[in-house]
Amino acid sequence: MPYKSILIPLDGSDSCCVALAYADNVARRMSAHLNILHVQADTKEAVPLLGEGMSGAMIEEMIDLADRDAAERALAAHSCYETFCQNNHVAVSQSPVGNDSVTVAWRQEVGREDEMVANFGRVSDLIVIAQPLGEAERPSLMTLHAAIFETGKPVLLVPPRLPDTVGQNVMISWNGTAEAARAIEGALPLLRLAEKVVAVSVETEKARSHVTGKELAAHLSWHGIQAEVKGISPSTRTVGDVVMAECERENADLLIMGAYTHSRLIQIILGGVTRQVIAETKIPVLLAH
């Protein structure tokens, strides 16, 4: 089944507008609906976090500054949305229109972005989100983590510079885990449209007891997907380095991989490979947990 409902958190930044453009490319291949979500921060929630000893006037001034910043972000996000609709001639609709066209809808909420993305992501087929470029950048890592770990849905991470093609040459990072299997299941609509699929298995001690790449390729063949399998020894390199080097070598325009944590209790602590790929990838990555 193709994706039919795609959620895009939008804060008005250039990186989020690029993510929206990528989501549009995916939507046009699936005749999907784009749900644009802007979450405006509730500045009054920040009052308990302000330091002790601050006067009422200082607190009021800080809240006023935060309100203005939130209003500016909301204006920039809506401007990005309006420009997108005008430039791409996308129909605005809140419900299915019954044809093969791409539709879009705007939704603005007040609260925490990570919580809203978790809530609305659960009733979406796919979440497309911009790559966090640092602790100060938006969308924050908290929002990305909520999308990955709290929705049960595939998440497409989009870097600031898009590749020339969308999902034509796909790389799968396969290690036989349940997380990798969920990522592949979530990526099936894109894998069916790919011209080339390569499954890379990095042969570490942990991976040797898992399902092999050949068994994965046999499974994908039942879906009409022919995948090439490559087994690679990491030598002295990290798994993340190996996977990203193979993406570059194969000229991949999309990477599919499972998302991992070091702790089942503290999900904010990402596993090393996941953290490295999120920070360093130059191509879109579809993640699932």
pLDDT tens for residues 146-158?
Answer: 999 999 999 999 9
Q: Are residues 101 and 237 in the same domain?
A: no
User: 102-138, pLDDT tens digit by residue?
Assistant: 999 999 999 999 999 999 999 999 999 999 876 545 4
Q: Are residues 56 and 147 in the same domain?
A: yes
The yes-or-no verdict on residue 269 having pLDDT over 80 is: no
Is 71 within the bounds of a domain? yes
Is 164 within the bounds of a domain? no
Q: Final residue of a domain: which of 98, 129, 158?
A: 158
Q: Are residues 178 and 210 in the same domain?
A: yes
Q: Are residues 123 and 142 in the same domain?
A: yes
Q: Are residues 152 and 173 in the same domain?
A: no
Is 269 within the bounds of a domain? yes
Cα torsion through 155, 161, 165, 171, rounded to 10: -50
CATH code of 66's domain: 3.40.50.620
Least confident of 40-49, 155-164, 236-245: 40-49
163 Cβ neighbours under 8 A, 6+ residues apart: 253, 254, 283, 284
142, containing H or E segment:
helix 141-149
Q: Are residues 18 and 142 in the same domain?
A: yes
Q: Final residue of a domain: which of 121, 139, 158?
A: 158
Query: pLDDT at position 194, please?
Result: 98
User: 43-79, pLDDT tens digit by residue?
Assistant: 776 555 555 556 667 777 777 888 888 899 999 999 9
Task: Please list the residues that pair with 38 across neighbouring strands.
Answer: 108
Q: Are residues 111 and 236 in the same domain?
A: no
What is the domain extent for residue 202? 169-288
In this structure, are residues 229 and 246 in contact, taking their beta carbons and an 8 Å threshold?
Answer: no
- pTM, 2 dp: 0.92
Say how many C-beta atoms besides its own lie within 10 A of residue 17's C-beta: 21
Average pLDDT (175-187) is: 95
Q: Final residue of a domain: which of 158, 193, 228?
A: 158
| Domain count across the chain | 2
What CA–CA distance (Å, rounded) separates 138 from 163?
21
End-to-end CA distance of the chain: 20
Is 163 within the bounds of a domain? no
Percent of the chain with pLDDT over 90: 70
Q: Are residues 150 and 174 in the same domain?
A: no
Q: Are residues 37 and 135 in the same domain?
A: yes
Q: Mean pLDDT in the chain? A: 89
Q: Are residues 24 and 75 in the same domain?
A: yes
Q: Are residues 125 and 213 in the same domain?
A: no
Q: Are residues 142 and 186 in the same domain?
A: no
Is 207 within the bounds of a domain? yes
Please report the sign of the dihedral spanned by the C-alpha atoms of residue 117, residue 122, residue 123, residue 128.
positive
